[in-house]
Each structure stands twice: as C-alpha cells, then as structure tokens.
Chains A and B, each alone.
Chain A
C-alpha cells in the first residue's frame, strides 16, 4: 500500500511534467497539440542519441532537448499558427493540423529509426551524481541502486524524474507569475482579443509559450524510456491521450492544476494497477470522460465551458 502510494506520487509528478507543456499550449493559443506525444517521443530519442553516441548520463539530454525544442517550437509556431488562427474554426482545425504533424513526425522517425522498441539501461541515469559523490566523498563507483523512501526501495530513475519534474513545474510557475513575459502570457490566456487590443504582441507571447511547451514535452520525453520501459515511434499517440487526461484533470492554463492532476492520475493509476490490474488500461479514458462531464473546467478551474 505504501509502495503504491509513493510510486503513485513519483509517477504523478512525472505525469505532471508530461502534461504541463500541453496545458501551456492549449491555454495560451486554444490549440490542441495532438503532436504532443510525438514531441515526447522525439525527446526520448534525443536521450537515446546522447547515450548511444556520447555514452554519457542521459541527464545531459535534458538541457539539450529543451533548447532544441524551444527553438523548433518557435519556428513551428511561425510556420503554422498565424495561418491557422486566420481560418474559420481554428480550435477544430488545429486538431486535424497537428494530427497531420504527428503523422509526419512518426513517419520520419520510423524511416530513420525503424519500428523496433528502444530502451536505455536504467542504471545509466544519474551516473553523474554518483561520479560526483565518488570524487568528493570517496567510496566505490557504480550505478545508482534503489532509493529508500518509507522503508521501500524505488528505482532511482523514478526519483530523479520526479525531482526534475518538481524543478520544471517550479520554473514554469516562476515564469508565469514572476516575469514580464509570463504576465503577458497570462493576459493572452484569459482574453486573447483584449490582450491584442491593449497592444500586447500576442504572436510573440504565443510563440514563446509554444516553444516552452514543446521544450518541456521533450524534457519529459527524455525520461520516458525509464518510466515506461521502452519507446517506439508509435508511442506518441498513447502519450497524447494520457497527457490530455492529466491536463483536463487539473485545469487549463494553470500549471499548479496540472501538477495536482498529474499526482491524482499517478495515484489512481498505481492503485488500480495494484488491485485491479486488468482494468488499469481503461482508467485514463474513463477518468477523462467523467471529469469532463462533471467538471469541464478541471479540479481547480473556475470558468465552466459548456456548449
């Protein structure tokens, strides 16, 4: 029981990281990024590349993935979004547009990497910490063993992913509430047209949010091989639905809401998997529908969105 609860929180924090980028993109632009899961998948492939080519700790893939995808996101924004926003029904068309993008990403990855499952040895993650420990405090080198929490051992990658997620969520919070660009972002989130009327450069703010959203998704992807065991180019689609469940569970445009949503999701996931494993697959979908119907604005939301 303790094991399921702690594992649920660890996974939950990671799930928050998975969902938060999607939340940012939808909150700011009212765009449904169906390619979100595929960005995760690409992040995982960056981690694979870092391990495969340089042979160093996959943690180094985190800043790399972030920078690469912030740039890619800004570029992609300028190519796709202004044209989309000019159409009759951008919210609907964005679903189809980004579905097309996810197909392109999946196809290109398949062409270059094949369809086989890829994984990274989990002891490689975090070797940078053990190396530092050995250098400074002596002791013997080796992979990080299980980490003890409440007398139960958990794989080190889970803990490292959860800590990274916490840091990332804190940074997103700081960005949104303590920087000028963040304040502008929140203004665009609450009323796009009024923000435009007050002279905010909506496109610049949105491009930044889009880039950061994609960057965070890629960072989450770096940990995907450890959290889910392995990744394939087709992994993106499932990840997108899971992310949506988490984002809707929390509330739109509120990073703290996504953090809560992720933890609730992680706990439910672990508990169902422990006690009713054959029904665990159903959980994200049923949870998503129930939450949408009962509280369309999410657990922490205020504005209700009903047709």
Chain B
C-alpha cells in the first residue's frame, strides 16, 4: 500500500473517529473541544516550524485574527456561522500575506518579530478607538450563533484537514523540497527549488488553519475578550506540544498534545503556579535532553516513525 494512504488510514482515520465519537461517551465537551483545537494548532506549528524551520512565536496572532474575523462577520453582517469561520480563515491568510516580509528575517529575529506582530494585532484589536468595529477591550458576545455541537464537529473537520495536510507534506515532493530548504536554502535553490514560493505557501497554510481554528473557537465560546483569543499561551502551548512530540512528523504533535495537555488538565486547574513550575522545568528538560522530541526515542533505536 502507498505510504500516504497508510498514514491516512492508520493515523488520521482513527483520530477523527475517536474524536467524533468521544462526545457521546465523555461528558466534558469543552475539554474535548480544547484538545481538538490544540491538535490543529500544534499541527499548524508543525507545518511552519517542522517543515521550514521558522519558529512562529506569535502564532496566536492568526488564531485571534480568525476569531475576530468570525466575530465581525456575525456581529455586523449577520452571516451564518460556517461562512464566518471561512472568513476567519481568510482574515488569517490576509494577515499572513501582510506578514510575509517577516520571512526575510532568519532565526531568532523572525521569532521575535512574529511575537511583536501578534502583540501589535492584539493592541490594534483591543484599542478603544476601534470600539465601533471590534468592541475594543470590552469583548464580544455572539450568543446568536452559539452552537457548541456544530462548532465541535467543524473543529474535527478542520483537524482532519490539517492532519491531512501534514500527511501530504510528509509524503510529497513538495514537503521534501520544503525540508531541503530548511536544511540548506542555498543548495535547495541550486537544485531548482523555488524557495520563496515554497516558504510563502507553507506560511499561509499554517496561517489558514490557525485562522479557521480561531473562527471555530469564537463560534464555540461565543463570549470572549481580546486577551482571551490573543493569549500568548496558545502560541506557547502549540509550540511546546509540537516540539515535545517531535516536529516534521505526523504523529509527534499528536502525541505531544495528548500527553502534555492531558497532564495540564490533571494538575493545571487547581494550582496554576505549581503547574507553571513543572511546565517550565519540563520544557527546559526537553530542550536539554530530548531536543528532537519524544519520537527521537524511537528513531534513535532505528524504528521508523511517520
């Protein structure tokens, strides 16, 4: 059987089936929804960081832009929610296009500029001067479209698409070319790879999934403030989950989300500062002892991990 269909059958299909059926068995739907959202975001980070090497420290900018794209469509134009989610994705792509010049920067410069960009978008949206459009810092309330069940299944669909995109990257010449660019841009361009086009496509794809996730998040929670949807925690969590599992793989970010977000929910809510401490130590240990993620435990033994 072809590799790609194997990955679709044995990784993507079980994941979608499990998350589609779980709400019937498990009562905490918000928790399940958050799992799906973080699976999307971690895979989105995987697309841009794993395959191109750009660390999107302000990834939440796209998420928040998607949420506010959704909110503005619903509040001012009264469109149906699924359409507004698509618009949220579109807004994220626009923001991504606006930020493409950042791809000229390398390494830490890109990460810092991206972080600054997300904070700039936050302060722009939360500006009291724009209260007429975004409601400024006072938050939006979208009770008219509130429908957590539909939003949950929409999130599962977007998760399927995102994981599908990673399966494609893992098995296509395009993904291979991206990784070549990541390893050595000059050699790759000598070999005939159009570096700029490749990077921009990966960048916009990862912006799109975050925007869609943001739109669906807005749909699901329906009442939120700029600080909620632009919270740096989304970027950090997504990056750490992806890294913990191992980037540039299909399974790595999934494993990362399931383990780390699981731990977070076990101890995080009751004592946030102790969780923060454990989390910080975990991140440091990860970087120092396991920089290639959990999957490297297997690859070191010579096992192939998709």
Contacts and interface: CB of A to CB of B under 8 A. Distances in A.
B106 interface: yes
Interface residues of B, number: 47
A278 B277 CA distance: 35
Nearest to A244: B112
A208 to B, nearest CB: 22
Contact of A103 (B108, B243, B279, B286): B279
B300 interface: no
Interface string A73-111: 000000010011001110111111101111111111011
B16 interface: no
A193 interface: no
Contacts of A305: 105-106, 109
Contacts of B273: 107, 110-111
B111 A292 contact: no
Contacts of A88: 291-292
Contacts of A248: 109, 112
Contacts of A175: none
B83 interface: no
Given A95-B111, A107-B277, A285-B119, A278 B129 contact: yes
A149 to B, nearest CB: 31
Contacts of B174: none
Interface in A290-307: 292-293, 296, 305-307
Nearest to B114: A289
B17 interface: no
A285 B120 contact: yes
Contacts of B281: 100, 104
Contact of B291 (A30, A87, A95, A245): A87
A306 B105 contact: yes
A285 B57 contact: no
Given A97-B283, A102-B280, A285-B116, A279 B127 contact: yes
Interface range, A side: 35 or more
Interface string A177-217: 00000000000000000000000000000000000000000
Nearest to A115: B273
Given A97-B284, A107-B273, A237-B232, A284 B104 contact: no
Nearest to B108: A32
Interface in B50-65: 53, 55, 57
A100 B239 CA distance: 12
Contact of B123 (A96, A100, A282, A292): A282
Contact of A296 (B109, B276, B292): B109
A92 B123 contact: no
A100 B113 contact: no
A32 B103 CA distance: 19
B101 A293 contact: yes
B115 A241 contact: yes
A100 B109 contact: no
Contact of A278 (B108, B119, B127, B282): B127
B284 A104 contact: yes
Contacts of A286: 116, 120
Interface in B221-236: 232, 236
Given A107-B276, A111-B273, A245 B287 contact: no
B232 to A, nearest CB: 7
A101 to B, nearest CB: 6
Nearest to A31: B108
Contact of A293 (B104, B115, B124): B104
Of A32, A96, A237, A281, which is in contact with the most chain B CB atoms at under 10 Å from its CB?
A96
B128 interface: yes
Nearest to A291: B113
Contacts of B128: 278
A161 interface: no
B111 to A, nearest CB: 6
B28 to A, nearest CB: 26
Interface in B276-305: 276-277, 279-284, 286-288, 291-292
A100 B280 contact: yes
Contacts of B142: none
Interface string B41-54: 00000000000010
Contacts of B57: 95
A307 B185 contact: yes
A151 B171 CA distance: 71
B147 to A, nearest CB: 34
7 contacts: A100-B284, A107-B274, A111-B274, A111-B277, A248-B109, A282-B123, A289-B120
Q: Name the 3 nearest CB pairs between A and B, nearest first.
A: A100-B283, A103-B280, A104-B280
Given A80-B284, A88-B292, 19 more contacts: A88-B291, A89-B291, A92-B111, A96-B286, A99-B236, A100-B281, A100-B283, A101-B280, A103-B279, A104-B280, A111-B277, A285-B117, A285-B123, A288-B112, A288-B113, A289-B120, A293-B101, A293-B113, A305-B105
